[in-house]
Amino acid sequence: MTPLPCCENAKPRHLRDLGHLYQFDFDLHQCEQCERHWVKAWRAGISGWEKVEPEDALTMQSIDETALRPFMRKWAQEFN
């Protein structure tokens, strides 16, 4: 797994699978060192970390499955 952009040797803690949209798979992680939230966005041959604002991370963790996809569709529009 590629290192987190925030802390060189920190490990990401997986919090939630956010599903597939726009040909990407999204997973919510948190840095075990500084506690910033990141979304790992990946698809064949392409992957990267996207910073998540605290309020969005809270929503991503607490939203139910039926509301998650519409929320992520809006959040991930830049990947489309």
Q: Is position 3 within any domain?
A: no
Q: Is position 71 within any domain?
A: yes
The predicted structure's pLDDT at residue 77: 84
Q: What range does the domain containing 50 cover? A: 12-79
Q: Is position 2 within any domain?
A: no
Number of domains in the chain: 1
Q: What is the pTM of this model?
A: 0.90
Q: What is the pLDDT of residues 38-72, one digit of tens each?
A: 999 998 888 889 999 999 999 999 999 999 999 99
The predicted structure's pLDDT at residue 32: 94
DSSP state of 5: S
C-alpha to C-alpha distances, 14 to 32, 38, 49, 56, 78, nearest whole angstrom: 10, 10, 13, 16, 23
